[in-house]
């Protein structure tokens, strides 16, 4: 395992983010520093830096450029420029970038900052400059960010419909011709502690999701000039190891959890290499300084993405539970993607929503097809990558925003591992029927009309997911309100964890009491 991680690091360090960084000096002795968010392509970074230099020299011929480079890593001081904490010098924000003004004459630096804002006042919203005085908080100025155009949003919605239709049709064909593959793909009734369905059904719904994404990618490929979302194909390539490991498990039923986890981590490594999806921060004081060392950031990201993939697989226990939950989380990610002007992440979120809706037509409430491990790991990887890229590509997005959206599956996994190890004395990876969704199922079963026919069992199964769907908006809505405010997001995340533990213990006590 260590050898694999070392090999991944040596591969990934070939392509991390490159930050355009330009330092110029005026005849008055003032130093002006430009820093823009990272680019995954070194050529793109150089082009941005060259544009900054060209504009600066054209408007100030007597100024000199001291530094013109693409930074491989940012120091803690440079990372702070993208945040909201006060700086010791005046600074400006423009299209997501930051400019600082340093001079022995504080009045000269402050005047230059204010003048840059005044001269840009007549520009369009996404090209304006906002000046922040030294030692004052710098609130996020969302209106500076390039907005999503109506045509881009409509295109994303069209991709949602396309992926939904294709995924829905693919799932229908898998169900219609299940007699050809059910001997391999079925999820037998009562075959394990986490099986609560009434009729054997194909567990290869992940194939339907992947086909929906693949067909959408073809359309995106031929519309690149109008809607540049070039990284979508890289997302699909990166997810294949996670999907493939799950699919083999769906068919052969002999791929261990550790093997599937390692394949998902390898997928995360590919995502980091091809997309630059390496977490630069988690907005935890002290820990972020460690992440400034790229090998540690790479390893941490690989484990985090792998963990989310495994967590989504764990909550995929009842009709519509994981897929419905993911639709709500992805909708929130799509909304924030519009706020930061990220067409790629918006389209990626909407496309997966469409594929999930196409799948849900057949999965909920009748349970005619299941996600299976292939679908669960594909979905978990997709959620994790969008989460990482939101933080990587947009310093104004708190790392706790996607974490709050995914707090249920992540905390479910952590809590289950602790429960098995500390309370039950079993292996943390041992499957059981003590997850929260299983306690809710048994609680509903005790209060529902008796019966063990297929229709009654299916109705009980499908009654679980809505309990979670109703609860999710109560923390997704605040997450959308405070997507850039870490303190609120941390508080909400801890509150959700506390509520989870309270509900779990209440259901467990009620269950034990009923068996006395």
Grouping H, G, I as helix, E, B as strand and the rest as coil, residue 131 is strand
Cα(first)–Cα(last) distance of the chain, in Å?
46
Q: What is the pTM of this model?
A: 0.75
Bigger pLDDT: 213 vs 49: 213
What is the average per-residue pLDDT within 198-208?
A: 86
pLDDT exceeds cutoff 60 at 141 = no
> pLDDT class for 510, splitting at 50, 70, 90?
confident
Contact 436, 343 (CB under 8 A): no
How far is CA 505 from each of CA 62, 432, 501, rounded to the nearest angstrom? Answer: 71, 17, 6
How far apart (Å, rounded) are the C-alpha atoms in residues 306 and 199? 31
pLDDT exceeds cutoff 70 at 392 = yes
Q: Give 37's Cβ-side CA count (13 Å radius).
A: 21
Q: How much is the mean pLDDT over the chain?
A: 84
- One DSSP character per residue, 269-305 reads HHHHHHH-------S-TTHHHHHTSHHHHHHHHHHHH
Contact 317, 410 (CB under 8 A): no
What is the average per-residue pLDDT within 130-142?
A: 69
Choice among 4-18, 114-128, 355-369, 473-487 with the minimum mean pLDDT = 4-18
How far apart (Å, rounded) are the C-alpha atoms in residues 370 and 87? 52
Choice among 287-291, 314-318, 453-457 with the minimum mean pLDDT = 453-457
Neighbours of 361 (CB within 10 A): 16
Q: Cα angle at 58 between 56 and 64, to 5 degrees?
A: 55
| Phi, psi (degrees; rounded to nearest 5) at 448 | -100, 165
Where does 294-427 have alpha helices with state H? Answer: 294-315, 321-339, 343-363, 372-393, 400-405, 407-418
Bigger pLDDT: 231 vs 1: 231
What is the average per-residue pLDDT within 387-393?
A: 91
What pLDDT score does 515 carry? 47
Could you tell me how far CA 243 lies from the centroid of its own chain? 17
Closest to 89 (Cα-Cα) out of 98, 102, 78: 102
What pLDDT score does 468 carry? 92
Choice among 224-228, 297-301, 303-307, 360-364 with the minimum mean pLDDT = 224-228
Structure tokens at 76: 């803690």
What pLDDT score does 96 carry? 62
Query: Residue 64 pairs with which residues in a beta bridge?
Result: 25
How does pLDDT run across 64-116, given as a tens digit for each residue?
999 999 988 788 788 778 777 788 899 888 766 889 999 888 888 888 888 88
What is the average per-residue pLDDT within 213-231?
A: 80
How does pLDDT run across 368-382, given as a tens digit for each residue?
999 999 999 999 999
What pLDDT score does 185 carry? 86
pLDDT exceeds cutoff 60 at 193 = no
What pLDDT score does 306 carry? 96
pLDDT exceeds cutoff 80 at 61 = yes
Structure tokens at 443: 């609680």
Structure tokens at 367: 């349970």
> pLDDT class for 226, splitting at 50, 70, 90?
low
pLDDT exceeds cutoff 50 at 272 = yes
pLDDT exceeds cutoff 70 at 194 = no
How far apart (Å, rounded) are the C-alpha atoms in residues 25 and 482? 38
How does pLDDT run across 463-504, given as a tens digit for each residue?
999 999 999 999 899 999 999 889 999 999 999 999 999 999
What are the extents of the domains in the chain? 17-144, 150-514
């Amino acid at each position: 395992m260590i050898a694999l991680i070392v090999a991944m690091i040596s591969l990934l360090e070939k392509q991390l983010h490159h930050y355009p960084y330009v330092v110029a000096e005026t005849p008055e002795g003032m130093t002006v520093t430009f820093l823009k968010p990272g680019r995954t392509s070194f050529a793109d970074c150089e082009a941005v830096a060259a544009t900054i230099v060209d504009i600066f020299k054209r408007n100030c011929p007597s100024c000199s450029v001291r530094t013109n480079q693409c930074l491989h890593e940012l120091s803690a001081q440079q990372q702070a420029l993208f945040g909201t904490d006060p700086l010791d010098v005046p600074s400006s924000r423009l299209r997501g970038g930051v400019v600082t003004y340093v001079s022995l004459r504080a009045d000269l630096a402050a005047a230059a900052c204010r003048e840059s804002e005044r001269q840009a006042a007549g520009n369009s919203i996404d090209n304006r400059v906002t000046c922040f005085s030294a030692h004052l908080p710098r609130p996020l100025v969302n209106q500076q960010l390039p907005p999503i155009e109506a045509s881009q949003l409509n295109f994303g919605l069209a991709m949602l419909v396309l992926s939904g239709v294709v995924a829905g049709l693919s799932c229908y064909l898998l169900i219609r011709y299940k007699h050809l593959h059910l001997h391999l793909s079925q999820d037998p009734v009562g075959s394990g502690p986490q099986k609560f369905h009434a009729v054997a059904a194909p567990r290869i719904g992940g194939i339907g999701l992947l086909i929906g994404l693949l067909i959408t990618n073809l359309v995106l490929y031929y519309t690149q000039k109008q809607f540049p979302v070039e990284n979508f194909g890289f997302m699909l390539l990166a997810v294949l190891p996670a999907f493939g490991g799950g699919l083999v498990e769906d068919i052969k039923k002999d791929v261990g959890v550790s093997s599937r986890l390692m394949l998902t981590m390898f997928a995360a490594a590919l995502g980091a290499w091809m997309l630059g999806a390496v977490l630069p921060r988690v907005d935890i004081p002290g820990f972020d300084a460690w992440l400034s060392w790229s090998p540690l950031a790479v390893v941490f990201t690989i484990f985090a993405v792998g963990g989310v993939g495994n967590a989504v697989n764990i909550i995929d226990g009842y009709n519509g539970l994981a897929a419905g939950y993911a639709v709500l989380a992805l909708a929130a990610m799509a909304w924030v993607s519009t706020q930061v002007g990220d067409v790629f992440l918006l389209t990626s979120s909407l496309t997966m929503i469409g594929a999930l809706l196409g799948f849900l037509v057949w999965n909920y409430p009748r349970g005619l097809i299941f996600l299976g491990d292939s679908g669960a790991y594909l979905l978990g990887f997709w959620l994790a990558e969008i989460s990482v890229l939101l933080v990587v590509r947009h310093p104004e997005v708190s790392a706790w925003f996607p974490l709050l959206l995914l707090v249920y599956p992540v905390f479910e996994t952590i809590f289950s591992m602790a429960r098995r190890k500390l309370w039950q004395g079993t292996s943390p990876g041992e499957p059981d029927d003590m997850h929260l969704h299983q306690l809710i199922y048994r609680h509903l079963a005790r209060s529902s009309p008796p019966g063990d026919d297929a229709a009654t069992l299916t109705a009980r199964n499908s009654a679980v997911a809505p309990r979670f769907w109703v609860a999710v908006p109560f923390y997704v809505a605040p997450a959308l309100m405070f997507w850039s405010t870490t303190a609120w997001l941390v508080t909400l995340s801890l509150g959700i964890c506390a509520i989870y533990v309270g509900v779990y213990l209440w259901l467990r006590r009620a269950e034990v009491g009923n068996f006395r």
